[in-house]
């Protein structure tokens, strides 16, 4: 079973290849596979941004 978690992009690193995701109580980095922009709400699965919501 895979777990997908919603969050908000609050920063970008390495020319947009890495997104900083805010989950509320914490922030983590994820690979920006879909070229999400700052402010986008996204779904993250296995440290990869897989969908905009």
Quick one: residue 16, left, alpha or beta (phi over 0 = left, psi -120 to 50 = alpha)?
Answer: left
pTM for this one?
Answer: 0.90
For the chain, give every domain's residue range: 4-52
pLDDT tens digit sequence for 33-52: 999 999 999 999 999 999 99
How many degrees, rounded to 5, is the angle at CA 28 between CA 25 and CA 22?
50
What is the domain class of 4-52 according to CATH? mainly beta
pLDDT tens digit sequence for 14-35: 999 999 999 999 999 999 999 9
| Closest by CA position to 41, among listed 5, 12, 13, 14 | 5
């Amino acid at each position: 079973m895979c777990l997908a978690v919603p969050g908000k992009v609050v920063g970008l690193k390495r020319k947009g290849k890495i997104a900083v995701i805010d989950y509320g109580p914490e922030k983590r980095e994820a690979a920006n596979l879909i070229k999400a922009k700052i402010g986008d709400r996204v779904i993250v699965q296995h440290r990869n941004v897989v969908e905009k919501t």
